[in-house]
Amino acid sequence: MALIGLSILICGIVLIPIGLLDSIWLVAAAISSIGFAMGILDTAGNVFVLQLWNREGEESTQSSVLQDRVTIL
């Protein structure tokens, strides 16, 4: 749970000054760190949700939560 909060905090801290950066390399580093933190958030969020549905009879609910199939309309 602390990992989820830490990744949200990293995203917030990096997003605040991103408009004030004057170098393209700093902007690239900021965007890369946001992407890294979002990846941590996605992974930790999936683990957290799987812990919510921990029973053996709920495999269909677990697979729907992990978004293993994406349908584009």
Q: How far is CA 50 from CA 18, 29, 55, 69, 70, in A?
A: 34, 32, 10, 17, 19
pLDDT digits (tens, 9 = 90+) for 45-57: 877 877 777 666 6
Range 58-69 average pLDDT: 57
| Total-model pTM | 0.66
- Mean pLDDT across the chain: 80
d(CA 18, CA 15): 5
Give me the count of residues in the chain: 73
Query: How many CB atoms within 10 Å of residue 23?
Result: 8
